[in-house]
Amino acid sequence: EFAQMFRRFGAKVTVIEAGAHIASHEDDDISDCMVEILREDGIGILTNTKAVRVSGSDGDVVLDVETAGEAKSLRGTHLLVATGRTPNTDALKLERVGVMVDDRGYIKVSERLETGVDGIWAIGDVKGGPAFTHISYDDFRILRANLLEGGTRTTKDRVLPYCMFIDPELGRVGMSEKEAKEAGRDVRVAVMPAKRVARANEMAETRGMWKAIVDRQSGEILGAAILGVNGGEVVTQIQLAMMGGLKYTALREGMFIHPALAEGMNVLFDSFRD
């Protein structure tokens, strides 16, 4: 997101990635499509690249890297280091009351968000996991239901959506293909280029791809990735189907407004690899 933003501000931008793919939590084909889009925007991307040393002064930063077995120096005015987050739990002195944290400092909780100490719960980023505002808000709903309404809600099996707000967006929900196979699921994979969506063509926004993961036996939708215009909005519609227990055939055969982006779900769920 920041790379594309600063590129559109007019800066020259290079992304340095230590792994083989950017956005390593995504499937390789989604990541490769993202790289193609970002490179079309003029962003340099170096994968399998190790940052070795930073030198220079204000306005003149030199980054030495190792890439493809050779040393290389990149010069620029600014360096953004994106290496994750550290929870600020040290100052809370949690050990005094017996609240446990893991080796990274995140508070350990149960599926009901209990810390193990009576009367103390933890929600949001401080308990680890994906750091999204909507997860924190859903954590609040769990506590509200259980503490004030006598409920039994937990974090188990909740469907996790998120969106990477590049242009076009990457909306994702549920399992990736990689995650589903690692979980031992027998899956079918539906995939198509975004240019097959009529609305995307009308908007002249055809970059990207749509992908969905379906259980082969039951027809259950396990997850989806929509890399395309308004991808976050489209994937939310698939999320609603997953929450309602609809099989993929309901979206393949459903009647959606023409030429809304939702109509693309008819095409997607009729575009399996096998």
Active-site annotation, residues: 258
CA torsion, ordered 192, 198, 199, 203, to nearest 10 deg:
100
- Which of these, 252, 203, 253, lies nearest to 230 by C-alpha position? 203
**Distance (Å) of CA 56 to CA 53, 60, 61, 77, 132:** 10, 6, 5, 10, 35
Token pair, residue 33, equals 């499509």
**Distance (Å) of CA 105 to CA 66, 90, 113, 128:** 31, 7, 16, 9
* Residue located via tokens 């242009």: 167
At residue 15's C-alpha, the angle toward residues 29 and 35, to 5°, is 20
